[in-house]
A and B are shown apart, each in its own frame.
Chain A
């Protein structure tokens, strides 16, 4: 059965840990108690949240033991943070297993997700994780928004026109001349004409 899983529990834990660390989380190497050591778990913290990643080999392990993991996390938070501290409400439990879930247990996943009585749970099983990249999707609620995407989109539409139209067979630099003339409110066709005559052999 285990051979059927493309991603192992170790890989899941390693990738999830790496992802969090890459996005500003710090690993908490505390003197964790025995129960923590027995599970495949890591603890992380950033300015807002305390995140515990717990990976189970099988869905069965997960469904049987996630409550213990939650209890351990709550206990840990309470050890370090007072209940008056807003951060004491910021516990996140990431429950992962490479094992798929049978149809009869899908409702159990929803039940766990919707149980927010103590901490918020992010849960993914072998049904959701086909590659390591899928782990990042699970962790998204904990990660900062990707800045590079925002900046990419912010480009002026006119600035992307030359490249866009060049893909449709139009001379890119000529389009750039047209756009520049339009933006600078210069005579457009005249600017294009001057450019074309000055670069007679470059524009067709």
Chain B
């Protein structure tokens, strides 16, 4: 890519729009300091990278006098096939916007940045910081900034130098390749591990199949498993016994095992049902038989006996009541007699105490002795108890009889109750029996002998159960035969599976062995790649070194230190780079050029190194060499040497060179004049105001017939003397 033109508005020193025609082999930029020369270079740099590393504040790119408050740069580039690329970048103080126009097609963000990298420096896309990579590449090889001419040699460390050169020559791609290969190897290892697991699964499956094969029946003949006749017979009998299975399968069919299994289950259910029914029946029969020997009491007889006992009890109760009444009357009489006797005794005792010759009551004379005798008889007369004992005796006797009668009555009643309970229980059992018979689906009628029916049915049930048992046993035999037949088929199938699995396992083994070999090779390549970045840079530097030597010798800045070489070393996994100057004839050298060379000579060396990288790296972001005021501090010889060199550089690169010195400007115009079909443009910054620089752009007329002496022009030529 070469630069065709640039338009700047609000950018750095360019407050208002300025457009420059830069479509030339050589662009000479002349102007006093502060008039915008560096801003013009910065404009090119910023359009390409979006950064100006030496400006800490990004807002510094916006002109203080920008009317829009924005910075805008549009850089037109031309490709090797005359492709057109216009890079337009703007910044409003907050956000940058990038727009590309490729042969008329417009590409905006977010694709513009990536597309721009693809066009000018694809290497950058492979690095962690693409913008930094691009800015480094440009500042090391395309744009030699005014204040940083000697930075590479003086200020950068040996490590920084190596890394920036590494970036420039694309050694980062080696690292990227290494990282990509490491990632790929990791993925490969994961896939290999996964494959190993699969192989183990295949191995496990193979072992399982072999184990299965060892357990499968062997030595069973086809004849042994021919069960067609037995199969048909079994199913006929089974259907008779109530098995419901739908269509009977053939013994060789796939569903045969499941059908027979289902039939066996049905048999189990039926047999269980029959046996249970028979158990119930047997139990019922046992009850009926035990009931048949039981005597049912006569309730009527017992009720009559109870009535009789009631009547007898009533009679005794009445007799007792009468006897008790008589005994009470007797006791009354006896009380009255005892009271009279007591009164007579008290009177006799009193009379005896007062007994005199005369009756104390009537005063009459009496036989005192007889009276006394009489009175003492009254006092000593005994009580009469005999009548009392007779009434009470009678009551006691009747009470005893009553008690007996009551017991007899209670016994009769108890007997009746017990009988009634038995009768109730019996009737309940009869109901229960009828219900159970009904449940057992046994028809009964008064004329039916239940016991006989039940016994007959029980025999039938037992026979059915026995038949089922036999059928089950045969069924099991058939199922076993079927299983053996199935195992025979399975065995053949497993043998085939083992063969296929063994083949699969072998394939896995081969594949894995091959993968291991590839892994080992990748490991060796990775080992090689780890140091390769260093060797690549070293290799590239050897090429560039001859170029820098060539360029340095072309300028010829020092009378004795006329050789330059790059010293590379590898320390702790990092490459280091120093620049060495050498006196080739005295074998004196220094890897610290600043300690040997003058400031002017150092500048010449720095420019030599810059130009060597500019010319030595084919895929530059832009095919241009931009040198911002490189002539400062150069003495006359080095100045002429450098300018002569630049004249040669422009055969290879579009050349941009600036100077703040008008005299140097004139020298550049003469030295870099165009010959034949070349084009040289001079941009002169003649002044500056708030709108921006005032500019005088002019084109130097090319020298179409540059040979004056050796091949003088055929027309118009004349010897001056």
A residues whose Cβ falls under 8 Å from a Cβ of B? 25-28, 30, 43-48, 50, 76, 78-82, 85-87, 89-90, 106, 109-110, 113-114, 116, 120, 122, 127-128, 130, 137, 140-147, 149-158, 160-161, 164-165, 168, 170-171, 174-175, 178-179, 182, 187-190, 192-193, 196-197, 203
Taking A45-B709, A156-B619, A178-B181 as known contacts, 8 extra A-B pairs with beta carbons closer than 8 A to each other, sorted by chain A number, are A25-B710, A28-B709, A141-B641, A143-B554, A149-B547, A150-B652, A153-B618, A160-B539
Quick one: CB contact mask for B178-218 with A, threshold 8 Å, 1 for yes?
00110011011000000000000000000000000000000
The segment from B16-24, B105-113, B297-305, B522-530 that touches chain A is B522-530
Tell me, yes or no, whether B420 is within 8 Å of chain A by CB.
no
> Is the beta-carbon distance between A151 and B618 smaller than 8 angstroms?
yes
> Is the beta-carbon distance between B636 and A116 smaller than 8 angstroms?
yes
> Is the beta-carbon distance between A144 and B648 smaller than 8 angstroms?
yes
Known contacts A141-B554, A150-B615: does B559 contact A193 (CB below 8 Å)?
A: no
What 9 A-B pairs are tightest by C-beta distance, nearest first? Answer: A154-B618, A26-B710, A47-B706, A153-B543, A45-B710, A189-B188, A28-B710, A153-B616, A188-B184
Quick one: CB contact mask for B209-240 with A, threshold 8 Å, 1 for yes?
00000000000000000000000000000000
Known contacts A45-B710, A165-B528: does B559 contact A80 (CB below 8 Å)?
A: no
Known contacts A110-B559, A153-B544: does B675 contact A48 (CB below 8 Å)?
A: yes
Q: B525 contacts which of A26, A140, A165 (Cβ < 8 Å)?
A: A165
What is the chain B residue whose CB lies nearest that of A164? B535
Known contacts A78-B720, A128-B585, A140-B553: does B174 contact A157 (CB below 8 Å)?
A: yes
> Is the beta-carbon distance between A80 and B709 smaller than 8 angstroms?
yes
Q: B180 contacts which of A30, A47, A188 (Cβ < 8 Å)?
A: A188
What is the chain B residue whose CB lies nearest that of A167? B535
Q: A193 contacts which of B518, B551, B619 (Cβ < 8 Å)?
A: B518
Q: Is the interface of A mostly helix, strand, loop or mixed?
A: helix
> Is the beta-carbon distance between B706 and A140 smaller than 8 angstroms?
no
A171 cross-chain contacts in B, Cβ below 8 A: 521
State the Cβ distance, A133 to closest chain B Cβ, in Å: 11
Tell me, yes or no, whether B707 is within 8 Å of chain A by CB.
yes
A80 cross-chain contacts in B, Cβ below 8 A: 708-709, 712, 719-720
Known contacts A79-B719, A150-B618, A165-B532: does B670 contact A50 (CB below 8 Å)?
A: no
Complex Cα spacing A185 to B546, Å:
35
A188 cross-chain contacts in B, Cβ below 8 A: 180-181, 184
Within B503-518, which residues are at the interface with A (CB < 8 Å)? Answer: 514-515, 517-518
Tell me, yes or no, whether B58 is within 8 Å of chain A by CB.
no
Complex Cα spacing A196 to B550, Å:
44
A203 cross-chain contacts in B, Cβ below 8 A: 521
Tell me, yes or no, whether B177 is within 8 Å of chain A by CB.
yes
The segment from B67-75, B165-173, B344-352, B389-397 that touches chain A is B165-173
Complex Cα spacing A151 to B616, Å:
8
What is the chain B residue whose CB lies nearest that of A86? B670
> Is the beta-carbon distance between B559 and A109 smaller than 8 angstroms?
yes
Known contacts A47-B703, A82-B720, A145-B648: does B709 contact A178 (CB below 8 Å)?
A: no
B187 cross-chain contacts in A, Cβ below 8 A: 189
> Is the beta-carbon distance between B706 and A87 smaller than 8 angstroms?
yes
Complex Cα spacing A153 to B166, Å:
13
Complex Cα spacing A48 to B650, Å:
13
What is the chain A residue whose CB lies nearest that of B648? A145
A144 cross-chain contacts in B, Cβ below 8 A: 648, 651
A113 cross-chain contacts in B, Cβ below 8 A: 559, 637
Complex Cα spacing A46 to B644, Å:
13
Tell me, yes or no, whether B285 is within 8 Å of chain A by CB.
no
> Is the beta-carbon distance between B556 and A122 smaller than 8 angstroms?
yes
B140 cross-chain contacts in A, Cβ below 8 A: none
B540 cross-chain contacts in A, Cβ below 8 A: 153, 157
